[in-house]
Structure 1
Amino acid sequence: MTRLTRATALLVAATALSGNAALARDLTVVSFGGALQDAQREALFKPFIAQYGPLTDEAYNGELAKIKAMVEAGDVTWDVVQMEAPELENACSDGTVERLDWDKLGSTKDIIPAAVMGDCGLGSILYSVVLAYDHAKLGDDGPTTWADFWNTEKWPGKRGLRKSAKFTLEIALLADGVAPDEVYEVLGTPEGVDRAFAKLNEIKGNIQWWESGAQPPQWLAAGDVVMSSAYNGRVSTAIKEGQDFRIVWDGQVYTVDGWAIIKGTPNLDSAYDFLKITVDPKNQAVLSTAIPYGTSNVNAPSLVSPEVLAWLPTAPDNMKGAVHQDDSFWIDNIEELNERFNNWASN
């Protein structure tokens, strides 16, 4: 073999090894961190590792910019990501995530309809944003509605709200007396949007904005806020850990999050294997027991104790006065309303 031929062969071998190394990267799953991701490690990640091999997990705050950048650059380092429904649909529309091959996931007959999230998402959890407060600080005379959340005379101090139009505008309208089943009818008009922002203006100086689901329980425990909107599972976990928090279920805004596969992942087959793990009823029961979010497999609730079921957003008593977040509304309006919200919040 000539020196040139040998060099060429070495280059080809090195390139092949490099490509194999890229393909050999562990499956990387990305979620929202905190107590949720701790629960997912136990309920989903461990079963995947036991059956299929290594898995790496990372956390993010729901922003799609990083995902879109890695797809456009052809340097995909995340494989499966949990997303809220409107963001998932938008990512599907712009080609940032894969369109799912449902045949690879088997039958969807045991999955609730809301968990088949368009062409690109597989529902993972049903959760809600609720009003939470520290009973140790407010006692038995704590808030019972979102209207109470606005009562800064009776309960002075900072209030925590999520730094996004989604959830926050619904809460503002509920606080202003809009009936749960009329929230999107009102929010779907320019006058309704103005009404929501006008309501937020009333307490703007008392708002402390949260961006991570872990922040509201931390702020409540530290006394940084007197009450807060919060993900129900994060508050329930804090209660299990000894905090004397209370959840106000009246006016909860509930929705479904889904798993999506990032476009161009080198771990496509493993990504599908992970999605199958997430909808196994036994795994979902473990997840709901670890953090009380609702399940997407219809067979999972029967595997969960009655004590746990009572803490789920879908428990009958908890659904009174609930608002089912309108994904279609947010898919159509999220960019415009987030732009207005961000401009308002920064001034």
Structure 2
Amino acid sequence: MVKNTLLIILLISTAMQIQAEPLTVISYGGLHVKAQGEAFYKPFEEQTKIKLLTGEYNGEMAKIRSMVDTKNVSWDVVQVETGDLYRGCSEGLFEQIDWSTLKIDEESDYVDGSLSDCGAGFFIWSIVLAYDTHQFKTPPKDWKDFWDIKKFPGKRALRKSPILALEAALLADGVKPADIYTVLATPEGVDRAFKKLDEIKPYIQWWESGSQPMQWLISGNVVMTSAYNGRVYDAQEEGKPVGIVWNDSFYDMDSFAIVKGTKNKEAAERFITLTMQPENQKIYSEVAGYGFSNKKTAALLDKKTLEHLSTAPEHMENAHKLDPDFWIDHGETLQQRFNIWISE
């Protein structure tokens, strides 16, 4: 009897220790911290009584790779873009997710690609063209205008990456949206994109963090820029003179992935399950201004909020899907050429 009692106490104590083990979630920081805190972090801690340790990074996959290779995993859940998710999944850096065991809605209730082998796509983002409304009587309407220095004089900003810079260059050069990646997959197409970038190279400021485009635009350092739509929404909510062009925007999603070898896999799965619920995604969209992956979220949002999201039908009409498979196949080569070009 005493042995059984001691065994029960030991089991309860072990269970309490397991439950008390903090879960570490790493995101991209900035606006995401506030939105994720309200939509995911606080509700998760309240519902599960599991403490969250949160941190930020800039998407450095080398850190994750080092953790997995050395079996010294200190991060449990990380926010990743689709390209990094696919590469990390194929390299064994992330745990496989068995969606049949998680309490989520039907797969058809989610935007295509949300439920992948290793990731939970929890929001949709867009790269849009943003501009200073004080600068132009007639606002820019597409990437051709972005390249038009005479009609729209002044500095402009692009992300310091070949991703989206090359796609935008081809659109500005007259390539049809449906043909972008076919053209870019050829040596001639790559030459064409870089030649187009040459035209505005002296006028470009290269941003590296999501906060920079709006800072530069509001301060007058640039007159237009590529930017994450959530950042533009946030600036507009603050009453800043910032306009947005949805035409020719590019969209993709960010996902949460579980780092391979985590000791908190069960808690990580519970966290992911919560982030895929429409009630939580509603809060995220309201705070961050980004689109949702669970289609049921739309019915929970007011019309004003929906009009600002990348998932609004009128915004998706002339938007283009970023092709992660293309960048997995060609990204390393194009990054090398981009690095050489930008240093010349």
- What is the TM-score of this pair, normalised by structure 1? 0.89
Change (3 A) 1:337 1:22: farther
In the alignment, does 2:264 pair up with 1:267? yes
In the alignment, does 2:193 pair up with 1:182? no
Q: Which amino acid aligns with 2:126?
A: S
- Between the aligned partners of 2:23 and 2:65, the Cα distance in structure 1 is 18
Q: Which amino acid aligns with 2:29?
A: G
- Determine helix, strand or coil for the equivalent of 2:127: strand
Change (3 A) 1:23 1:191: farther
In the alignment, does 2:290 pair up with 1:283? no
Q: Which amino acid aligns with 1:122?
A: A
Change (3 A) 1:112 1:316: closer
Q: Which amino acid aligns with 1:115?
A: S
2:160–2:208 Cα contact (<8 Å) kept: yes
1:133–1:227 Cα contact (<8 Å) kept: yes
Cα deviation per residue 1:247-304 (whole Å; 9 max; x = unaligned)?
0011100112211111111221111111011001100011111122111112111101
Question: Aligned residues, how many?
Answer: 326
2:26–2:56 Cα contact (<8 Å) kept: yes
- 1:333 counterpart (309, 330, 342): 330
Give 1:38's aligned residue: 34
Report deviation, 1:108: 5.0
Report deviation, 1:107: 4.7
Aligned residue runs from structure 1 range 127-166, under 5 A: 127-136=125-134, 138-166=135-163
Give 2:221's aligned residue: 224
Report deviation, 1:188: 2.0
Change (3 A) 1:190 1:34: same
2:104–2:276 Cα contact (<8 Å) kept: no
Report deviation, 1:120: 0.7
Unpaired runs of at least 5, structure 1: 1-19
- Determine helix, strand or coil for the equivalent of 1:193: helix
State the percentage of identical aligned residues.
49
1:96–1:262 Cα contact (<8 Å) kept: yes
- Between the aligned partners of 1:32 and 1:172, the Cα distance in structure 2 is 27
In the alignment, does 2:156 pair up with 1:126? no
Give 2:85's aligned residue: 88
Report deviation, 1:98: 1.0
Give 2:13's aligned residue: none
- Between the aligned partners of 1:113 and 1:65, the Cα distance in structure 2 is 28
- Between the aligned partners of 2:51 and 2:199, the Cα distance in structure 1 is 50
In the alignment, does 2:87 pair up with 1:97? no
Give 2:8's aligned residue: none
Change (3 A) 1:344 1:301: same
- 2:68 counterpart (60, 66, 71): 71
Moved over 3 A (4+): 20-25
Report deviation, 1:21: 8.8
Q: Which moved more, 1:207-216 or 1:177-186?
A: 177-186
2:104–2:277 Cα contact (<8 Å) kept: no
- 2:44 counterpart (40, 44, 48): 48
- Determine helix, strand or coil for the equivalent of 1:221: helix
Report deviation, 1:326: 1.6
- Between the aligned partners of 2:240 and 2:185, the Cα distance in structure 1 is 38
- Between the aligned partners of 1:344 and 1:264, the Cα distance in structure 2 is 39
Report deviation, 1:25: 5.0
- 1:234 counterpart (231, 235, 250): 231
- Determine helix, strand or coil for the equivalent of 1:128: strand
Change (3 A) 1:22 1:163: farther
1:128–1:232 Cα contact (<8 Å) kept: yes
- Determine helix, strand or coil for the equivalent of 1:234: helix
Unpaired runs of at least 5, structure 2: 1-15
- Between the aligned partners of 2:124 and 2:340, the Cα distance in structure 1 is 30
Change (3 A) 1:158 1:87: same
- Between the aligned partners of 1:208 and 1:259, the Cα distance in structure 2 is 31
- Between the aligned partners of 2:318 and 2:196, the Cα distance in structure 1 is 20
- Between the aligned partners of 1:155 and 1:309, the Cα distance in structure 2 is 30
Report deviation, 1:230: 0.3
Give 1:315's aligned residue: 312
- 1:292 counterpart (281, 289, 292): 289
- What is the TM-score of this pair, normalised by structure 2? 0.90
- Between the aligned partners of 2:205 and 2:199, the Cα distance in structure 1 is 14
Change (3 A) 1:23 1:164: farther
In the alignment, does 2:24 pair up with 1:28? yes
